[in-house]
Amino acid sequence: MRSGFAVVLGFGMVILIICVLAGISVFNMNVIIEDATRVSEEYTPVAMIISDLVDSTFLSIGAWESYAFSRDPVFLEKGKRLLVEIDKYLTEAKVYGEKFPNFVLLNKSLPECMAQVKKLRELALETEKGVNLQNEFATNQSVACGELIRQANDYLCSQHETMIEEFSESASFWHFSNRLQKITQITEIIALAHEGRVKFWNALSAQDTYILEEALELIPKITALLDALQKGTRLEVNLRQIEAVREATQGYKNSIEGSLAVWTRLAEIHSQRTQANEILLELASGVSDSVKAENDRIVQGARTTRYVLVSGLILVVIISVLVTLFLTNSVTRPVDKRVRFAQTIAAGNLSAEELSVLLDSGDLQGPAERDMEEMITADPSELDCTINAQEPNSQSCTDRYAPNLSHLSLT
């Protein structure tokens, strides 16, 4: 009975542990399934939207800066398209935020993100207007500089013609000296106009306002030379030419000052755009980090479930080994004693004291235990008989206790 109870108890413990582990695993798997569903339906789409938003923002920065630098309409169209994409991604994120209130950080960040995108659209319009003005000023500068040089060349040609006439008429040295001075002054004006044109386009190419300021510094020099020419000029045609050069110079100056103002404003727009983009990217990164943290939590939960399953299996194996050792010892120990007891009986060496100890140990059970008790309560002279004795009464002794001995079972 004891051995059977030990077997049932041992295997019952193993089955109980397996059931507990199975219940924990089923619970954890349900949690993982729910989390995986949330990831696929909520977090993954939002993560993709935020990733696309960040990519479009970076591309938008490059497109608008390239447009402001090169004035290429291709970058303008690309920048407008990217702003539309950013609006679309924010709208999709807003839909998910309203549908799933657990996106606390997303719902909190969306209003600020939309405000920054609105600011980016306004800056984009200002950039487009600024670039258009810059193109206009560049055209005006080219026209004004060209007119300045043309009128100056006309004045130069008239001075050359007058000088030839004076030479043929053998004019005085003073006339030649005065004519040569005017030719030198108008030549310097032409040279300064060419230098200013080169500096303007270099500044435009390099987006360097310092070079543009250097071009602007040439205007007072041209004006001073024109003032000197006007003082020494008497012919009406030459005075009109000088006035035309002065007007062209003023138009050239206005174009440079306008371009300088536009570039200064574009630099401010660039700073504001950078700030808005940084805020937008920071907010998007924060939402992306929160989504990533939730995904990591779910992944960690799956790992924990795996660790629980593996640990449980190891625990089951260890307990099974311990139960097996315990059951083996519980079964084999009584069997060994019974074998030794049978050998003692066969040798005729079993005394009443030994039989009493055997009964007290509990190794004999059922009919065997009752028969042993009967043998103890019997006449001691009868217990001392042996199966192998040669006396005449040995056969009767054996006959008497053979039924009792037959009940000594090993079970």
Give Cβ neighbours of residue 190 (< 8 Å, ≥ 6 apart): 149, 152, 153, 156
Q: Which DSSP string corresponds to 81-116?
A: HHHHHHHHHHHHHHHHHHH-TT-HHHHHHHHHHHHH
The burial class, CB within 10 Å (0-12 / 13-18 / 19+), for 391 is exposed
Which residues, 6+ apart, have CB-to-CB distance to 155 below 8 Å? 186, 229, 238, 241, 242, 245
pTM recorded for the entire structure: 0.62
> How is 282-316 classified by DSSP, letter by letter?
HHHHHHHHHHHHHHHHHHHHHHHHHHHHHHHHHHH
Determine contact, residues 290/105, Cβ cutoff 8 Å: yes
Angle between helical axes of 218-231 and 173-206 (0-180°, round to 10): 160
Contacts (Cβ under 8 Å, ≥6 apart) of 49:
89, 92, 93, 96
> Which residue in the block uniquely carries the two structure tokens 């004035």?
71
Backbone angles phi, psi at 169, to 5 degrees: -90, 0
Half-sphere exposure of 228 (CA within 13 A, CB side): 16
DSSP three-state, residue 213: helix
CA distance 375 to 36: 74
- Note down pLDDT in tens along the chain; length 411 residues: 555 666 666 667 767 777 776 776 667 667 667 766 766 667 778 888 888 888 888 899 889 988 988 889 999 999 999 999 999 998 988 888 888 787 777 788 888 888 988 999 999 999 999 999 999 999 999 999 999 999 999 999 988 888 888 777 776 777 778 888 889 999 999 999 999 999 998 988 887 888 989 999 999 999 999 999 888 888 888 899 899 999 999 999 999 999 999 988 988 998 999 888 888 888 888 887 877 777 777 777 667 766 766 776 787 678 777 777 776 776 666 666 666 666 666 666 655 555 555 555 555 554 554 555 555 555 445 545 444 444 444 444 445 444 444 444 444
Specify the DSSP class assigned to residue 207.
Answer: T
